Structure 1
Amino acid sequence: MIINSLIRRNNKVKITFDDSSSLYVNYNVAVQFALRKGDVLDEHILNRLRKADELFEIKAAAYRLIGRRDHSSAELKRKLLKKGFDDSLIDELVKELSEKNYLNDFNFARKYSEEAVEKKKAGINKVRNELIKKGIGKEIIEDVLNDIDDNTMLENARDLLNKKMKTSAFIKTESRKKKQKLFSYLKSKGYASDLIMKLLSEYDFSDDE
């Protein structure tokens, strides 16, 4: 196929061939291939051109996503797949971004867990479940969670407990139900049963009424 014309439209270039068919590619891809009127493009070159164009679009979408916030490798791949991009090209890009350290699952997991614990006072189990959802590997998750200080978790749980106990709904709760209510509350926040029981042992609800 022979290129009859090249017309730039914003960031795209419309390539029209001698058989009246046309193809749109990103301007940067057209420059990369040094396309000119009169060039002959066989099927092999056309396939390379299409692949390069889609890879450029995938990269642009990926950089927009990771520019807004950090992503795990699996999380980024899922979002790109939803946009309809080719699976193998996404894998190629994810590998490239990982090699350049734009994607780093360990750093992502560590930052995510630190923010979840410090800002949201999430328990270990909740953090673990969220990291699993984001596609982080088991070894990385356990390495990251092992670095979280037990005393920090205990103090966070105590802080949540004290705030909960000041709410009008809790104050109105029957004394015999208060301990179970607090246990369920901290459990829903992702705290381990042994930590919750250790904390609740510090409180006596028998004389509340």
Structure 2
Amino acid sequence: MVFLEDGACLKITEQELLDFGLRTGDMLDGGTLERLKSAAGISNVKVTAADLVGKRAMSRHELEKKLTEKGASQAEARYAAEWLEAIGAIDDRDYAALLVRHCGQMGWGPARAREKLREKGVPRELWDEALEELPEAAGEIDVFLAGKLRGRTPDQREKKRLTDALLRRGFAWGDVKAAWHRQGQELSEA
């Protein structure tokens, strides 16, 4: 902490202390004080960024957005995200794979997983590789239907309800229709 003559307090890290060669009782000219404030601001944003990433995984885009919401400038947020990328604390490729695995564990299909990737700001060029982490759609749909039907033959109303649920989960119409066919059921397209 640096206490200024006007009573203000400036929170700095050891790095600024060393970079600026500060000692008790030092007098700082206006230019040095402004550079110190700028360096301290960047350090504080980096600390906040590290805290955010330490709490849960997130994409670079998500991190920058959260930092700007907390008052950092876009340049400071970008710099902090670059720093965390450089030290390996954030990696959009790893985050995309983690997010898609989570979607698979939730029983969601490819469309829902793509929506999550878009929502979290994962770059589009990483989507295809990440989506390979999803379990086979046919197997997931069969497990869902078996769990809901428990050997019963559904009526048209229940088939529609289950079909709609699968579509909301992000499975393609063709995959859902094929699953009903595997169950020995025909599905009307209306």
- Quick one: which amino acid aligns to residue 80 of structure 1? L
Deviation at 1:74, TM superposition (A): 0.6
- Judging by fraction of residues, say which structure has more strand: 1
CA distance in 2, matches of 1:58, 1:30: 14
Deviations 1:22-65 (A, max 9, x none): 34223535523332244332232222211221122112111112
Q: State whether residues 29 and 53 of structure 1, in contact with CA within 8 Å, keep that contact through their aligned partners in structure 2.
A: no
Deviation at 1:205, TM superposition (A): 5.2
- Correspondence for 1:132: 118
CA distance in 1, matches of 2:29, 2:145: 70
- Quick one: which amino acid aligns to residue 171 of structure 2? Y
CA distance in 2, matches of 1:89, 1:76: 12
Q: State whether residues 187 and 193 of structure 1, in contact with CA within 8 Å, keep that contact through their aligned partners in structure 2.
A: yes
Structure 2 residue runs of 5 or longer lacking an equivalent are none
Of 35-44 and 96-105, deviating more is 35-44
Q: State whether residues 158 and 199 of structure 1, in contact with CA within 8 Å, keep that contact through their aligned partners in structure 2.
A: yes
- Quick one: which amino acid aligns to residue 161 of structure 1? L
CA distance in 2, matches of 1:65, 1:27: 18
- Correspondence for 1:100: 87
- Correspondence for 1:5: none
Deviation at 1:162, TM superposition (A): 1.5
Structure 1 residue runs of 5 or longer lacking an equivalent are 1-12
- Correspondence for 1:15: 3
SS in 1 for 2:4: strand
Q: State how many pairs are aligned.
A: 185
SS in 1 for 2:182: coil
- Correspondence for 1:58: 45
CA distance in 1, matches of 2:161, 2:4: 70
Query: Does 2:139 match 1:159?
Result: no
Deviations 1:80-112 (A, max 9, x none): 111111221111111121122221111110121
CA distance in 1, matches of 2:21, 2:114: 49
CA spacing shift, 1:101–1:140, aligned 2, 3 Å: same
The 5-angstrom pairing of residues 72-111 of structure 1 reads 72-111=59-98
Q: State whether residues 13 and 40 of structure 2, in contact with CA within 8 Å, keep that contact through their aligned partners in structure 1.
A: no
CA spacing shift, 1:27–1:144, aligned 2, 3 Å: closer
Identity %: 22
CA distance in 1, matches of 2:76, 2:31: 17
CA distance in 2, matches of 1:127, 1:184: 17
The 5-angstrom pairing of residues 129-208 of structure 1 reads 129-145=115-131, 147-148=132-133, 152-166=136-150, 175-204=155-184
Deviation at 1:185, TM superposition (A): 0.8
- Quick one: which amino acid aligns to residue 157 of structure 1? I
CA distance in 2, matches of 1:196, 1:15: 66
CA distance in 2, matches of 1:129, 1:73: 17
Higher radius of gyration, 1 or 2:
1
CA distance in 1, matches of 2:75, 2:10: 22
Larger RCO (alpha carbons 8 Å, 6+ apart): 2
TM-score normalized by structure 2? 0.85
